Amino acid sequence: MTALTLSTAAVPGLRADAIVVGVAKGGKGPVVAPGAEAVDQAYDGKLADVLGTLGASGAEGEVTKLPAPAGFKAPVVVAVGLGALPKKDEAFGAESLRRAAGVAARTLAGAKKAAFALPIEDAADAGAIAEGALLGAYTFDAYKEIGKNAKNGKAPLGEVALLGGKPRDAAFKAAVARATAVSEELNRARDLINTPPNDLNPEAFAAVAQAAAEEHGIQVEVLDVEALEEGGYGGILGVGIGSAAGPRLVKLTYTHEAATKHLAYVGKGITYDSGGISLKPAGHNETMKCDMSGAAAVFAAVVAAARLGLEVNVTGWLALAENMPSGSATRPGDVLRMYSGKTVEVLNTDAEGRLVLADALWAASAEEPDAIVDVATLTGAMVLALGSRTYGIMANDDAFRSAVHEAAEEVGEAAWPMPLPDHLQKGMESPTADIANMGERAGGGLVAGLFLREFVGEGITWAHLDIAGPAFNEGGPFGYTPKGGTGTAVRTLVRLAELTAAGDLG
């Protein structure tokens, strides 16, 4: 992974492949952002004019390269757009810095070292830039030949030196350490999401979780098929029974001796979703390796919490299965007896995520945590409602839903609160079982949330994050977001754990 350092070195004498500066969009053209004073001075104070002549405007995501001034050790200056110039007495927002750093890091793929001279007013700015650079530099090349003669891409940027930071300042060091831990675990989640399903079935995912847990002092328990049958986990088994690769339920437990609160995170982990007997049509199954993004996010968040030593107990539940059609697969019309004891009539085997989550939610509820948050690529309806970059938040408590939304906004993850209308419950009534796994088509994302609510223990605060839109980016990269697996929700979950540890949540 890209190395990261804080540096107070003078820009002209710094040995690097490029110097990154920020440029904002002003009323009369580009404006050089703070942090780039030394570079601007080397251009006789005319860097903004030079950039304007080259067509730069300072718009977010814009990149302009130009030869470095005479006397600089670095050969190239990379000017990256920060977006609109802040109002007087206001600073650039954390997300603007994060995105600009991500764009710069991705642009400099193949370079060994780059110095980032972006605006830094405090430790939080340094953390945002560090996070953006580490996330933006991400590449998934495990299955590609990367090298001098390869045609499949470039290695990620090797090292980022953050200029303007304070290497000996405790707050700056803590901000960079946090950014490193969160980014490394988020990128691990991306790796899992991008891994082909023939190499990442439930057993393989469980093995990855076990190895990470042992490395970071996290307790781990893995329920295999036999254990799931003995425990009566009918939802997970009902989904995974059609595959030759059996399902797993992984429990990760991070504890801190000073903790007074307990959070439970539950992740949907369908390592490949064919739809089962209700088979997906061609054009809708090619990216279904990403249907375990919720479990990847939960896994990454628990490990990040452990690495950060947060004073909160966090339990992660990974509900892992492969949804395949076969002679042993669950059929539309079958009735499953869930871990909670409720029976569910399966009307559509492609509405499988809610079945594995239901068992995991009930298992999590048995420990009576202070709050449960589940994460899932659950419904296409949520994508239709909110698009491909925003996830939906539902909850059984309006205040908690708002708190989750605020946490998401704080870390730069686009999310939106959604309702759970009780009138939609009627559509899931079944003449055969306690509840059906399908309801009205209109508002399908909300129906799925209502189904999950049925499996949350009484009196437990709960939120559901439907990340179906932003979990997997099928378009081009933007900001610090790559094509493919994004790691959506990891930063929100980590922030919720931080807030809980600080006593600011619940």
Structure tokens at 59: 């718009």
Residue with tokens 């890091």: 105
Look at the chain and count its residues.
506
Q: Is residue 155 a contact partner of residue 110, using CB atoms and an 8 Å limit?
A: yes
Q: How many helices (H) and strands (E) does the chain have?
A: 14, 20
Q: Show the tokens assigned to 151.
A: 């045609």
Nearest residue to 287 (alpha-carbon basis) of 137, 106, 483: 483
Question: Alpha-carbon Rg of the chain, whole angstroms?
Answer: 24
DSSP state letter for 390:
-
Cα(62)–Cα(494) distance, integer angstroms = 30
CA–CA dist 90, 87 (Å, integer) = 5
> Which letter, b or e, does each residue of 438-468 get, where b requires 16 or more Cβ atoms within 10 Å of its Cβ?
bbeeebbbbbbbbbbbbbbbeebbbbbbbbb
Angle (CA) 188-236-279 rounded to 5° is: 85
Helix axis angle for 398-411 and 490-501, nearest 10°, is 110
Task: Please report, for residues 77, 136, 208, 220, 335, the alpha-carbon distance to residue 363 in angstroms, rounded to integers and kept in the order given.
Answer: 54, 36, 22, 15, 20
- Distance, CA of 232 to CA of 220 (rounded, Å): 20
Angstrom distance (rounded) from CA 189 to CA 165 = 28
Q: Are 242 and 330 in contact (CB under 8 A)?
A: yes
The vertex-471 CA angle with 378 and 339, nearest 5°, equals 35
Residues with active-site annotation:
280, 354
CA distance 378 to 394: 12
